[in-house]
Chains A and B, each alone.
Chain A
Amino acid sequence: MKMLNNELENQFKEVFTQLTDNVTIALFTDSGSCSSCEETKEFMEELVPLSEKLNLVHYTLEENDDLAKRFNVTMVPSIVLLDKDLNYKGVKFNGIPAGHEINAFIPALLEVSGTTSDLPEDLTKVIESFDKPVNIKVFVTLACPHCSGAVQKAHKLALMNENIDAEMIEAQTFMEISNKFNVSGVPKIVINDQYELVGNQPIQAFIDEMQKIS
């Protein structure tokens, strides 16, 4: 049975007319006991034909160790978005971006394609000034209506500065890492595994935490 119904397909097609350049969806799975790899693969295989600007490449952790390292992929399923020149822009989804997370995934496709919205100039300057590596983990559940907003902001930061890497982590799929960071409320934002924010915070709150990085 198909995952996407006609209504959703048509809505996605309509939104994808706003894609500027090509986007490659690099999907990482493994051959082991990955609980949602198959669903994620099916979802991507149904989504990609809806626009000629979308491409899908499928990797496994076992066979594509070098690429996994390059994109810092350590869990599966994981989706990494690459721009038209196949550059990694720091935009990653760990776990299936279904439920409410579709509202973070579709904007990420648009943004990586070059369909971007500008932030005010002063804010842009501050974001572009970070010169140390920043990793932003946003823990979510698929049932959370506020989480996609936090994921979108993290990805926006990553797209604006190559030192910033931002990843959605679906907390139920990745219980081990969620427990490690004591995730019991979402969205939970963890910056460089050290600084924490809870809730869909404004972009300024992300920046305030990022500025604590020594």
Chain B
Amino acid sequence: MSVEFQFNANNFSPTSAELDATTLYDFLIVGGGPAGLNAALYAKRKGLETGIITRQIGGQVLNTSSVDNYLGTKSSTGEQLVEDFRSHVNSLDVPVLEYVDVEAILPNSAKNQHTVLLTDGQQFNARTLLLATGTNHRKLGVEGEERLAGRGVAYCAICDAPLYKNKNVIIAGGGNSAVEAALDLAKVANHVTIVHRSQFRADKIIIDELYQNEKIDIHLETQILSIEGDEVFSHVHALDKKKNETIDILADGVFIEIGNIPNSQLFIDLVDLNDIGEVIVDEKGQTSVDGIYSAGDVTTVSYKQIIIATSDGAKTALAANDYITIQKAKERTNQYENVK
């Protein structure tokens, strides 16, 4: 047995600053994925008092086993990329509050002071906010899925693959994440069946790999109707749309990899969302509320990619900087007027 260590030394950096409840931040970021981290980098370099509040640094990228399309990085793991991002942000002493959840955001554009309230009772204030909460796994929404979650129904291939050594698994989905999960699981599992309701929409380069893998069976045009099992998962019940007949596919587990939904539930009454729950932003990442910005996968910006989220983060930090500069100038003018 070879023993490896994925040590995140950056978590222990003694210089990392702490978020302070008495500070009025210029730019407070909710979310620690690529958009939030890059926004922090740009904001701090502009001289903004910046902080990050997040459930976990890295976000969805942590669930990505390999990243081969981030310019300048020919081949990396999602986790390594996150470590590189974190290390870069840490070098600028941006305070990060990790492993916390936001309870509510209380906007106050008139006062230029928005409040972020956490579920543990802490609260922080800022002139501008960035909502960069990313996305979460989309569920199939079929009978049996909720009941058997964690009992054979899984959502994180990178986490759970070791539990399926020499077992049979099903992957639901046809995008990049599904195809990558199938390829990853084929390395340890006995057999992998990929089931998708239409045609593949993953990158050609990995679809080719999929077809070459003898351990993987492919069922396209096949819709999962229900997930079955008593105490634990036993099979999926599906409709083969080409033959118009139902089939049962037996396995030890099923991984749901059908894309993501925006983490915007907290923002329903805060900013305008589109009909699928994405935060509506303009070309500078400004939401419907003055001084509240949004970036990355949670927004209406097309194509959910790491490099797009990072660049979005940069853009909103620059926009927030412009906004704050104008606001501070106005405040100074008002003070001057009052003195007169």
Q: Answer yes or no: do A and B interact.
A: yes
Residues of A at under 8 Å CB distance from B?
3-4, 8, 11-12, 14-15, 18, 35-36, 39, 43, 96, 98-100, 102-103, 106-107, 119-123, 141-147, 149, 152-153, 171-172, 178, 182-188, 196, 198, 200, 202-204
Give the residues in chain A near B6, CB-CB below 8 Å.
Answer: 99-100, 102-103, 145
- List 9 interface pairs A-B (beta carbons < 8 Å), by A numbering: A35-B1, A144-B160, A152-B99, A184-B232, A185-B150, A185-B159, A186-B156, A186-B163, A202-B99
Shortest Cβ distance from residue B163 to the other chain A in the assembled complex, whole angstroms: 6
| In the complex, B47 has a CB within 8 A of chain A | no
Tell me if B152 is interfacial: C-beta within 8 Å of chain A: yes
Stretch of B27-35, B115-123, B199-207, B213-221 with 4 or more beta carbons under 8 angstroms from chain A: B115-123
Q: Cβ of B233 and Cβ of A184 under 8 Å apart?
A: yes
Are the CB atoms of B56 and A200 closer together than 8 Å?
Answer: yes
Known A100-B6, A123-B120: A143·B150 in contact at CB below 8 Å: no
- Closest-CB distance, B103 to chain A (whole angstroms): 9
Docked-complex contact B1 and A36, CB < 8 angstroms: yes
Distance (whole angstroms) from the CB of B54 to the closest CB of chain A: 11
Chain B interface residues toward A at CB < 8 A: 1, 3-9, 11-12, 14, 55-56, 58, 62-63, 79, 99-101, 119-122, 149-156, 158-163, 165, 231-233, 252-253
* A77: min CB distance to chain B, Å: 12
Name the A residues within 8 Å of B162 (CB-CB): 141-143, 171-172
Nearest CB on A from B177, distance (A): 15
Q: In whole angstroms, how far apart are the Cα atoms of A141 and B99 in the complex?
A: 20
Given A141-B163, A142-B162, A183-B163: A119 in contact with B120 (beta carbons within 8 A): yes
Chain A residue nearest to B4 (CB atoms) is A99
Interface centre among B1, B4, B11, B150 (most CB of A within 10 A): B150
Question: CB distance B7 to A143 under 8 Å?
Answer: no
B4 to chain A, nearest CB (A): 6
A residues near B155, Cβ cutoff 8 Å: 185
The 8 closest A-B pairs by CB, nearest first: A144-B159, A198-B150, A185-B150, A11-B9, A185-B154, A141-B162, A145-B62, A15-B12
Q: Bound complex: CA of A107 vs CA of B160, how far in Å?
A: 24
> Which residues of chain A have C-beta atoms less than 8 A from B100's C-beta?
202
A11 to B6, CA, bound (A): 12
Return chain B residues, CB-CB under 8 Å to A141.
159-163
Q: Tell me the smallest distance from the CB of A102 to a CB of chain B, in Å.
A: 5
**Is there contact, CB below 8 Å, between A185 and B156?**
yes
Hey, which chain B residues are within 8 Å of A119, CB to CB?
Answer: 120
Which residue from chain B places its CB closest to the CB of A97 in the assembled complex?
A: B5
Most chain-A Cβ atoms within 10 A of its Cβ — which of B100, B152, B163, B253?
B163
Most A CB within 10 A of own CB, among B3, B5, B7, B101: B5
CB distance from B299 to the nearest CB of A (A): 24
* Known contacts A202-B101, A203-B120; is-contact A143 B161 (Cβ 8 Å): yes
A18 close to B56 (CB less than 8 A) = no
Q: How far is the CB of A141 from chain B (nearest CB, A)?
A: 4
Q: How far is the CB of B117 from chain A (nearest CB, A)?
A: 12
Residues of B within 8 A of A171 (CB): 162-163
- Once the chains are docked, how many angstroms separate the CA of A144 from the CA of B157? 9
Cα of A38 to Cα of B11 in the assembled complex, Å:
29
Complex Cα–Cα for A65 and B198 (A): 59
In the complex, chain B residues whose CB is within 8 Å of the CB of A143: 158-159, 161-162
Residue of A nearest to B9 (CB): A11
CA distance A106 to B9 in the complex (A): 10
Residue with the greatest number of chain A CB neighbours at <10 A, chosen from B9, B56, B101: B9
**For B12, what are the chain A residues with a Cβ–Cβ distance below 8 Å?**
14-15, 18, 106
A123 to B99 alpha-carbon distance, docked (Å): 14
Given contacts A141-B162, A171-B163, A202-B99, contact A146 B232 (CB under 8 A): no
Cα of A43 to Cα of B119 in the assembled complex, Å: 38
Complex: A112 Cα to B189 Cα, angstroms: 39
